Amino acid sequence: MAFDGRYKYCYSESGGIEELYDLKKDKNELRNLSKNRSCKNKLKSMRTYVIEWCKKNRDSNMLDNKGKLKISKIDVKYFRKAPEKVLGWRKY
């Protein structure tokens, strides 16, 4: 997760899910802007910030062997059986 004072970026390794919220306009984080074309540059800069932070702080657990954020396969069968409280608000 990263926050620049206005935008909040969240990344989930499971499926490589990205979330981007404009907390000035959306304090409850209801509108994920990660697929919004007008936010493409902001999404890229926040992603780059997280990657650079991981490198600087030697947090290699989040990065793959190419220096990009790791993506793992979502175990859909598990998530469908798991209680919602385990999943948070997401539904797969």
Please check whether residue 92 lies inside any domain of the structure.
no
Please check whether residue 45 lies inside any domain of the structure.
yes
Residue 28 domain boundaries: 2-87
86 vs 43: which has the higher pLDDT: 43
Domain count for the chain:
1
Q: Determine the pLDDT at residue 80.
A: 67
14 vs 49: which has the higher pLDDT: 49
Q: How confident is the model at residue 15 (pLDDT cuts 50, 70, 90)?
A: confident
Whether residue 18 is predicted with pLDDT greater than 50 in this model: the reply is yes
- Least confident stretch, 26-30, 43-47, 67-71, 77-81: 77-81
Residue 9 sits at the vertex; the CA angle it makes with 38 and 18, to the nearest 5 degrees, is: 75
Q: Are 31 and 70 in contact (CB under 8 A)?
A: no
pTM attached to this predicted model: 0.79
In this structure, what token pair is assigned to residue 40? Answer: 């493409």
Helices (H) and strands (E) in the chain, counts: 3, 3
